[in-house]
Amino acid sequence: MQKGKKIYEGKAKIIYATNDKDLVIQHFKDDATAFNNLKKAKIEGKGVLNNRISEHLLTSLKNCGIKNHLIKRLNMREQLIKKVEIIPIEFIVRNIATGSLSKRLGIQEGTKLDNPLLEYCLKNDDLSDPIISKEHIYAFNWSSESEIKEIDKLSLRVNDILSGMFKAINIKLVDFKLEYGKYWNKDKDRFELILADEISPDTCRLWDEKTEKKLDKDRFRKDLGNIIQGYQEVARRLGIMHEETNIKEVSFSRPTSIKFKKK
Ligand code: 5GP
Q: Is the CB of 203 under 6 A from ligand 1?
A: yes
Encode pLDDT of 80-90 as tens digits.
999 999 999 99
CA distance 51 to 75: 9
Residues sharing a CB contact under 8 Å with residue 211, sequence separation 6 or more, in sequence order: none
Residue 177 CA to ligand 1 centre (angstroms)? 6
pLDDT in tens, 151-197: 999 999 999 999 999 999 999 999 999 999 999 988 999 999 999 99
Q: Which is the closest atom of ligand 1 to the Cα of 102?
A: 3
pLDDT at 253 over 90: no
17 has which bridge partners?
A: 24
pLDDT of residue 249: 40
Q: Is the pLDDT at 76 greater than 80, yes or no?
A: yes
Buried b (16+ CB within 10 A) or exposed e, 102-113: eeeeebeeeeee
How big is the chain, counted in residues?
A: 263
Give the pLDDT confidence score for residue 9 in this predicted structure. 97
183 lines ligand 1 (CB under 6 A): no
Q: What's the 167 CA to ligand 1 centre distance in angstroms? A: 20
pLDDT over 90 at 252, yes or no: no
Q: Which amino acid does the sequence have at 198? A: E
What share of the chain in percent tops pLDDT 90?
88
Q: Is the CB of 80 under 6 A from ligand 1?
A: no
In angstroms, what is the span from residue 95 Cα to ligand 1's centroid? 13
Distance CA 12, CA 44 (A): 12
| Distance of CA 83 from the midpoint of ligand 1 (Å) | 23
Confidence of residue 246 (pLDDT cuts 50, 70, 90): low
Q: Cα separation of 249 and 51, whole Å?
A: 18
Q: How confident is the model at residue 241 (pLDDT cuts 50, 70, 90)?
A: confident
Give the ligand 1 atom nearest the CA of 202. 22
Give pLDDT tens digits for 10-66. 999 999 999 999 999 999 999 999 988 899 999 999 999 999 999 999 999 999 999
Structure confidence at residue 255 as a pLDDT band (50, 70, 90): very low
What domains appear along the chain, each with residue ranges and CATH number?
A: 3-84+226-260 (3.30.200.20), 86-208 (3.30.470.20)
Cα 151 from Cα 8, distance rounded (Å): 25
Task: Give the whole-angstrom CA distance, residue 105 versus residue 118.
Answer: 15
Instruction: Determine the Cα–Cα distance for residues 249 and 256; give it in Å rounded to an integer.
Output: 11
pLDDT of residue 1: 83
Query: Residue 263: what pLDDT?
Result: 53
Share of the chain above pLDDT 70, in %: 92
72 C-alpha vs ligand 1 centroid, how far in Å? 25
Where is 63: in which H helix or E strand? Answer: helix 46-63
CB 151 less than 6 A from any atom of ligand 1: no
SS3 of 151-208: HHHHHHHHHHHHHHHHHCCCEEEEEEEEEEEEEEECCCCEEEEEEECCCCCCCEEEEE
Given the CA of residue 176, which atom of ligand 1 is nearest to it? 10
Measured CA to CA, the distance from residue 101 to residue 121 in angstroms comes to 12
Task: Say if residue 99's pLDDT is above 70.
Answer: yes
Ligand 1 atom with the shortest distance to the CA of 123 = 19
Would the pLDDT of 204 be above 50?
yes
CA 120 to ligand 1 centroid distance, Å = 11
DSSP 13: E
| CB 218 near ligand 1, within 6 Å | no
CA–CA–CA angle 80, 34, 138 (5° rounding) = 70
13: Cβ below 6 Å to ligand 1?
Answer: no
Task: Quote the pLDDT of residue 254.
Answer: 35
Non-local (6+) Cβ contacts of 99 within 8 A are 175, 205, 218
CA distance 109 to 96: 8
- At residue 203, φ and ψ (nearest 5 deg) are -115, -5
Among 1, 178, 159, 10, which residue's Cα sits nearest to residue 72?
1
Of 27, 26, 28, give the one whose Cα is nearest residue 47. 28
